[in-house]
Structure 1
Amino acid sequence: MIQNPILPGFNPDPSIVRVGDDYYIATSTFEWYPGVQIHHSRDLANWRLVTRPLNRAAQLDMRGDPDSGGIWAPCLTYADGMFWLIYTDVKRRDGAWKDSHNYLVTASSIEGPWSDAIYLNSSGFDPSLFHDADGRKWLLNMIWDHNQTGGDRFGGIVMQEYSHEDRKLVGPVRNIYRGTDLKLTEGPHLYRRDGYYYLLTAEGGTGYDHAVTMARSKELFGPYETDPAKHVLTARGTDGLLQRCGHADIVETQDGQFYMVHLCSRPLNETRRLPAGNGSIHADDVRRSPLGRETAIQKLDWPAGKFPRMAHGGNAPADTAPCDLPPHPFPEDAPRVTFDGALPAAFQWLRTPEADRLFSLTERPGALRIIGRESPGSAFEHALLARRQTALSFRAETTLEMEPGDYQHFAGLIAWYGRFKFHYLAVTANEGGQRVLTVYSCAADWPDARVTYPITPIPLPDGPIQLGCDVDGMTLRFRYKADGDWTDLGITLDQSTISDEAGNGPGNNFTGAFIGICAHDTSGRGRHADFLDFTYQPLNGGPQVSHV
């Protein structure tokens, strides 16, 4: 049995493809760089990160993108001996208009090299590429209709032909499906089977009303008939382990079985509350999912000429899925990593393709030197390197060496969701120039976005300092060791605020909790901090993804 989720932690909007005996899933990375995560498996249960293909300015530059902007809903396919990756870079996501630019890159090998980006369109987001049996290729995406009111500006699923020879879209744009009464129709994937074109979409928004809807047509351009059951998958009105289920894709195994991958979330038990009525989340609900939207898998039954159904019955997600592929595990990650020549694969940074302005692995051999740039609120140059939180309970530690020049220079260990949601254990200096330890916390209190200071700064001796945190569900506790034993700071911070649902900040939130290290220098001098190691240790079991 495959245990869900298969990609724990922030890994939403999965797109899956099989090439021979190998399975690959691409997921959204939003403002995190390099863009798009691609994981590999041979048994659908064990997964290993193999690449983040969007790694240079000719493919992606997200400086200035908002929180939860950037890379939305990639689509990974394989045809003509090549991998094809379609993705959106969202530059504006709030208000009546969206600026969402869609691109294509290709590669003959999943590891790359991947081509420079080909611009496609900007009419909407969630693009996908369908390779028809006659060799023609069709781009699908939801279309954004800014003229609509009442919250649903999702204008339907549009289709246009892509000419690989001309490297551009050609021919008319056709609106082939406007969805159901659940609305917010997005995330299209098209399949051809048994004389039908099957269109899979996501509906209901990416919250607790999320659902997967299917329609079909004998003709490519429709009309598309909605499945009489309407939603193949949804967790609406349930209180199971997996919530917010939607945005799916389907793969066929070597022996003709079908599986659906989909996003989901796991609210903390302390914040879980059964929704009322039709499944809508109400203002008094407090469910929070620090791990963000994750990827799960369900087995399907898909008889010839019929709509697919969940193999376990109904349309609610199951915690496990049966699979008879031979087991193919990968090596486990070591909890502790050092910085001896390569950035650990689990780590990403924010927005910029100019990584050498943020950090260096060569200026001090054996250390990760992070160069202090703009503030934690910056959407341009923010020197933060972090990895996903993949377990509800974990411990993290790092060893830091720095001599802060003044109180505008600070660095340390950070639990991060976005510019208005973080807890930061920082080494800095007081006005007199003495090195001190402090805590900065910004707990989703938009629109004020206040940074609070939960402790009185603690004087520190010279030399290396170890910083640590312990997270257990809703709670985070910081500790440090300057010499001797660890010292707990004696405060408990609310880790549930480092989540999608916390706060009412600008727009919805789509990423997940990270834990990492950072340096800031708001004076503009670019002073650095050196990190010697980093430890991340999950404490409550569950599936983990290999990065080795």
Structure 2
Amino acid sequence: MTKNLIGYSNPVLPGFYPDPSIARAGDDFYMICSSFEYFPAVPIFHSRDLAHWEQIGHVLDRDSQLDLRGRRSSDGIYAPTLRYHEGTFYMITTDVRGIGNFYVTAKDPAGPWSDPIKVPYGGIDPSLFFDDDGKVYVTAQQGADYDSHAIQYEIDIATGNALSEPVVIWKGDGGPWTEGPHLYKIKGMYYIMTASGGTAKDHREIIGRSASPYGPFELYPHPILTHRGIEHPIQYLGHADLVEAPNGDWWAVFLGVRLVDSGYSVLGRETFLAPVTWNDEGWPMIDNNEGTVNLEMSVPRLPGKPEETMSAPTAVFEGKDHFEGPELPYGWTFLRNPAKDSWSLSERDGWLSLHGQSAGLNDVGRVAFAGRRQQHVQSEWSTLLEYATIGDGEEAGLCARRDEDAHYEIFLKQEGGRKSVGVRLTARGESRMAAEVPVETDRVYLKIRTSVTDYELLYSMDGQEWVPLGGGSARALSPEDFVNKMCFTGVVIGLYASGNGKPASGAAQFDWFEARIG
């Protein structure tokens, strides 16, 4: 008789949630992801079954922990690692172009987390390992391209001070960008696992093992995770982390990309889950071009109780935010640290008020922007905007944003005392007005409709009859369409306001924000 299988869907965190790292405390699992220029930073999720995740906060949610004000897109927070040891949670990461490598601690993973404790060495992607003898190691990426490798050194976990000099312990499999190193001790052996090949078609996860934490490490001759050799709807697999469930099963979380037919994805790098098996030689196996990592998975069992799985929450947003609580839901994110008093949920009850700053969507600065990650290729996003205090040169609206070089927005603006609704399209760093219609109102409904190939921007005066005003290609908002600088983020759909060179005279107010899937 065939045992009943349990199904779950990949990705377990859809949308721009790359570089996952996972830790277990008892029966509870916690997971974090990279956040780059967005704030609060390092979203943290909780699960009992690994397949269903609920966001419980952010690790870095105070200006004293992280200052992103001058950071370009795709800088900021890279590849955090989450670990749990003797009642304390540790998150170590890199603030690129900022303070470098540091870690923070918490007794409760929902926070509060400590201020940063810096560590002295490493390029990006630091990881922590707590050995049985009480020693604590930092393992980090160093070097670039084909010179990329992993270094390691011992630290005092109370202070972050190095107790040994860094040494090179791992050079990977000969490919470029050996990164995202994690050290584990499993059944008396030390395993080092890293990504290789860069986050694109050649991305893969590789592994080595040794009797010593410093090696030398025997390289397993094949990737333990990749789809680089097969045609498959999920590509770029890698940058993985391992976790053991209470029942002894092993699992891996890792990033992947759901490419559309012509080879891009506006959703960016997402978080996937797969079971780990151990071969006869004691190596962990996930999916080396077998195609077992799929959008729909079937496994003999998941951790946790079946009744918990049936009622588990989801990290997918669909529905309407009415802005009625004292705080924005955890799925919301700002573009860099928001300026003081640039947003409010209490200025007008049941509305989100945004005070436009001098910076606009093309600028590296403190833009008044709050949004949610796009999690599905086909979706609709809408809002009701009232801007009674709008002044000349000011605007506010709804935006689909990849970074400074790629974003589409539909907005209400005023010039020379006259109001209009406009659509602006920015691709590859070049902006153009696609359409503009005069209006005699300070109240307008705005919508962005997304598909596999296009974004369509619409407006309405009554919320019933929608007028298409412009549109642009989806490819132009994908990370694959970068020009001058690699892009590591997916699209975030959000509300924004700008004084276009000066602080706005009043607040743009949004009554609700709605997402529909399909």
**Which of the five TM-score ranges fits, normalised by the shorter chain?**
over 0.9
When residues 179 and 100 of structure 1 are mapped into structure 2, their CA distance, relative to the original with a 3 A threshold, is farther
Paired position in structure 1 for 2:430: 450
Cα offset, 1:57, TM superposition: 1.9
**SS of structure 2 residue aligned to 1:7:** coil
**SS of structure 1 residue aligned to 2:340:** helix
1:493 matched to 2:492? The reply is no
- Judge conservation of contact 1:243–1:267 (CA < 8 Å) in 2: yes
The C-alpha deviation readout for 1:355-374, integer Å capped at 9, x for no partner, is: 53421112222211101111
Question: Partner letter of residue 254 of structure 1?
Answer: P
**SS of structure 2 residue aligned to 1:469:** strand
- Judge conservation of contact 1:5–1:296 (CA < 8 Å) in 2: yes
Cα offset, 1:379, TM superposition: 1.9
| Aligned with 1:413 (options 362, 382, 398) | 398
CA distance in 2, matches of 1:338, 1:381: 25
- Judge conservation of contact 2:147–2:176 (CA < 8 Å) in 1: no
Paired position in structure 2 for 1:356: 340
CA distance in 2, matches of 1:236, 1:311: 11
Cα offset, 1:211, TM superposition: 0.4
Question: Partner letter of residue 333 of structure 2?
Answer: Q
- Judge conservation of contact 1:16–1:24 (CA < 8 Å) in 2: yes
Paired position in structure 2 for 1:281: none
CA distance in 2, matches of 1:102, 1:303: 35
Cα offset, 1:375, TM superposition: 1.4
- Judge conservation of contact 2:226–2:289 (CA < 8 Å) in 1: no
Cα offset, 1:120, TM superposition: 1.0
CA distance in 1, matches of 2:51, 2:41: 24
Cα offset, 1:405, TM superposition: 4.3
The C-alpha deviation readout for 1:217-250, integer Å capped at 9, x for no partner, is: 1111111110022x10111132211101110011
CA distance in 2, matches of 1:72, 1:165: 23
Paired position in structure 2 for 1:294: 270
Paired position in structure 2 for 1:265: 257
CA distance in 2, matches of 1:195, 1:85: 25
Matches within 5 A, 1:222-301: 222-229=215-222, 231-269=223-261, 271=262, 287-301=263-277
CA distance in 1, matches of 2:202, 2:392: 46
Task: Give % identity.
Answer: 33
Paired position in structure 1 for 2:413: 428
When residues 249 and 342 of structure 1 are mapped into structure 2, their CA distance, relative to the original with a 3 A threshold, is same
Paired position in structure 1 for 2:332: 347
Matches within 5 A, 1:186-197: 186-197=179-190
Matches within 5 A, 1:26-45: 26-45=32-51
When residues 437 and 485 of structure 1 are mapped into structure 2, their CA distance, relative to the original with a 3 A threshold, is same
Paired position in structure 1 for 2:514: 535
Cα offset, 1:538, TM superposition: 1.4
Cα offset, 1:169, TM superposition: 2.2
| Aligned with 1:307 (options 283, 289, 292) | 283
The C-alpha deviation readout for 1:298-347, integer Å capped at 9, x for no partner, is: 11112576111237984763332515133423346560111123213221
Question: Partner letter of residue 186 of structure 1?
Answer: E
Paired position in structure 2 for 1:5: 11
Higher mean C-alpha displacement, 487-496 vs 527-536: 487-496
Question: Partner letter of residue 156 of structure 2?
Answer: S
Question: Partner letter of residue 443 of structure 2?
Answer: P
When residues 256 and 169 of structure 1 are mapped into structure 2, their CA distance, relative to the original with a 3 A threshold, is same
The C-alpha deviation readout for 1:101-153, integer Å capped at 9, x for no partner, is: 011100011111111110113530000000111121100101136xxxxx534
Matches within 5 A, 1:131-280: 131-144=130-143, 151-154=145-148, 156-229=149-222, 231-269=223-261, 271=262
CA distance in 2, matches of 1:484, 1:363: 24
Paired position in structure 2 for 1:148: none
Cα offset, 1:167, TM superposition: 3.6
CA distance in 1, matches of 2:445, 2:291: 48
Question: Partner letter of residue 335 of structure 1?
Answer: G
Cα RMSD (Å) of the superposition?
1.9
**SS of structure 1 residue aligned to 2:93:** strand
1:375 matched to 2:360? The reply is yes
Cα offset, 1:40, TM superposition: 1.1
Question: Partner letter of residue 434 of structure 2?
Answer: P
CA distance in 2, matches of 1:27, 1:504: 25
| Aligned with 1:14 (options 12, 20, 44) | 20
**SS of structure 1 residue aligned to 2:312:** coil
- Judge conservation of contact 2:460–2:467 (CA < 8 Å) in 1: no
- Judge conservation of contact 2:146–2:175 (CA < 8 Å) in 1: no
Paired position in structure 2 for 1:322: 299
| Structure 2: tracts of 5 or more residues without a match | 1-6
- TM-score if structure 2 supplies the norm length? 0.92
CA distance in 1, matches of 2:104, 2:448: 39
Paired position in structure 2 for 1:110: 109
CA distance in 1, matches of 2:162, 2:501: 47
CA distance in 2, matches of 1:5, 1:509: 20
**SS of structure 2 residue aligned to 1:501:** helix
Matches within 5 A, 1:4-83: 4-83=10-89
CA distance in 2, matches of 1:236, 1:400: 45
When residues 480 and 90 of structure 1 are mapped into structure 2, their CA distance, relative to the original with a 3 A threshold, is same
- TM-score if structure 1 supplies the norm length? 0.88
**SS of structure 1 residue aligned to 2:221:** strand
**SS of structure 2 residue aligned to 1:489:** strand
CA distance in 1, matches of 2:76, 2:199: 17
